[in-house]
Structure 1
């Protein structure tokens, strides 16, 4: 049976021959009713507080769960960002190494082209010098022949050996080439 302050106050007792003092029982029941009412009010307040506390606990648990989810998400994002940065760095390094290798290869090719061009120019110079020397010697021979013919035409008797030495000393093909170059 559930007791309430009202049921306690209105409780009727059966009478017997030697019964209880009605006033005393009534006073006792009123005190008991007041105490039960006080306990029920206190219990009601405590239950209300418990509900409020449970509501707060649930709210804090939701906040904690959200924080944990956010923290995990942040950790995953951080891990992905670090991994992405590593991959990007590795890719940049690889691209830089490849570009550097290409630049070095191009520089080597240019150096080889320049070396080949220099060698070709040296060969052309040698060939040109040889041609010029041959031309100078040919011209020298022509001048010598022309000189001899003129001398013969004029009937001059000249020592051709000494005249040739004079002419050779005046016409030196190597000196002419040096002056030209």
Structure 2
């Protein structure tokens, strides 16, 4: 067991002939007690500082672990969002292609319908023109006949 300053202070030495000077020994022991007390206080202070430092290290280690977990979760979330965005983009692309095909089909159908209407109108116009021509031919023949009849008279 380590000596305490009180143990050093209370230590008594026996005397012998021609021994050491008691005052010098007591002064030296007093100095040792003082230095030893100072060292013990310093040691206790250093132990406290070490405990505080260990506590801080543990705190920062825990924080580091929490941050690492947060980073992993954030990366996983970002990956999920990225994959979700790609899937949504693919769906939007497919929908746009379907919409484009529908618009193209409708436009073709409208164009075909208008072409058929235009052809029908052209045929009707040709038919009307043929009837007018025939009518005019009949009227022309009738006028020629009337003209001959008039000359003959």
Does 2:85 correspond to 1:104? no
Kindly report which structure 2 residues correspond to 1:1-181, keeping only aligned pairs within 5 A, or say none.
1-13=1-13, 15=14, 18=17, 20-21=19-20, 23=22, 24-133=24-133, 164=145, 166=147
Work out the CA distance in 1 between the residues paired with 2:25 and 2:67.
61
Distance (Å, rounded) in 2 between the aligned partners of 1:95 and 1:48: 69
TM-score w.r.t. length of structure 2:
0.73
What secondary structure is seen at the aligned counterpart in 2 of 1:89? helix
* Distance in structure 1 (CA, Å) of the matches to 2:131 and 2:21: 159
Give the TM-score of the pair, scaled to structure 1: 0.63
1:74 CA drift (Å):
2.9
How many residue pairs get matched?
Answer: 147
Corresponding residue SS for 1:3: coil
Listed one character per residue, the Cα deviations across residues 108-164 of structure 1 (whole Å, up to 9, x for unaligned) are 0111111112222233334444445555666777x58xxxxxxxxxxxxxxxxxx63
Higher gyration radius (CA): 1
**Cα displacement (A) at 1:53:** 1.4
**Distance in 1 (alpha carbons) for counterparts of 2:39 and 2:73:** 50
Give SS of 2:3's match: coil
Q: String of CA shifts for 1:6-52, please: whole Å, max 9, x gaps.
A: 11211244x47558447144334333322221211110111111122
Give the whole-Å Cα distance in 1 for the aligned partners of 2:29 and 2:70: 60
- Over residues 46-86 of structure 1, what are the superposed CA-to-partner deviations in whole Å (9 max), with x where a residue is unaligned? 11111221222222223322332333333233333333332
